[in-house]
Structure 1
């Protein structure tokens, strides 16, 4: 018997407002991320939206960085 079996279909559970707020905030965030995934939004933009931090080149220490945080090698011409 799991924890889900301990509740009837329409049981009430006491929850503090702060816990309810956290629950609603996280569920909304998950819904927005899933909508982005279902609409084929590029992963870079989903990560930026979820973290609130830009992954744009030149943002870290004035150097261009790739997506894992390593400096990009200069392009060689010729």
Structure 2
């Protein structure tokens, strides 16, 4: 079980660093106008907030420490 914590922590750390560096984004599509079956849509590319990356780094660090501390027993 501790190995699972360690692996999950590493994954969260890498994802958090990726987000914090500004490399992660997502697309959001919104309908501007609709008349019958005709639609006018706009797609915007937005960056994932940096605070989410920082939270991933902190959570990943805690999981890695928990995984390492569990192995020493």
Which TM-score band applies after superposition, normalised by the shorter structure? 0.3 to 0.5
Q: Name the structure with the higher strand share.
A: 2
Q: Name the structure with the higher helix share.
A: 2
TM-score normalised to structure 1 length: 0.34
TM-score normalised to structure 2 length: 0.36
Task: Name the larger-Rg structure.
Answer: 1
Q: 1 or 2 for the larger relative contact order (CA 8 Å, sep ≥6)? A: 2
